[in-house]
Amino acid sequence: MPEKKPPAFRREFLKLFQGLLAAIGASAFLGPILAYFWPAKLEDVPSSPVPVGPPDSIAVGESVSIAYGRYPALIINTDEGIRAYSAVCTHFACIVKWNAETKVIECPCHDALFAAADGAVISGPAPRALDEIPTFVQDGILFIGGEA
């Protein structure tokens, strides 16, 4: 008795399904490789100024953190005026926080302390001061980075 062959449409469907699975498998394998060679554009520092808001929206002694390119920025309204710093600790790239009670910038990872006035290291393992970000006010809006 001759072997019974499946209908033609079933064979074509199975070939199509097999090709689809092969394409999905190839893209799952090749996708990350292509992404490695052509990564998404991530700016470490924005090329244009970043708006923060009205300068009086940050009370004296308080701070806000905002996105500033790839990393956050810390904006502090000190007694001497508004200061902005990269929120990345210079020791081990942890994100620093403002302590309003002690009036210092603290790194939670290794207890580094930074001065609010200039970002200088007060204590801890940090090798240098926080990176300062220039600030300016234009049309009643505080901006960080760039130039006025």
Alpha-carbon distance of 111 to 124, in angstroms, equals 6
What is the per-residue pLDDT for 46?
Answer: 76
Structural domain containing residue 33: 1-40
Regarding whether 138 and 73 lie in a shared domain, the answer is yes
What is the per-residue pLDDT for 69?
Answer: 85
In a domain, 98, yes or no: yes
What is the per-residue pLDDT for 148?
Answer: 47
Locate 52 and state its tokens. 């923060």
Regarding whether 100 and 62 lie in a shared domain, the answer is yes
pTM of the model: 0.69
In a domain, 65, yes or no: yes
Residue 54: CATH number of its domain? 2.102.10.10
Contacts of 6 (CB under 8 A, 6+ apart): none
State the number of CA atoms in the 13 A half-sphere of 51 facing the CB: 7
In a domain, 45, yes or no: no
In a domain, 56, yes or no: yes
Mean pLDDT by 10 residues, the chain (148 residues): 68 90 91 79 75 93 92 93 94 93 94 95 94 94 81
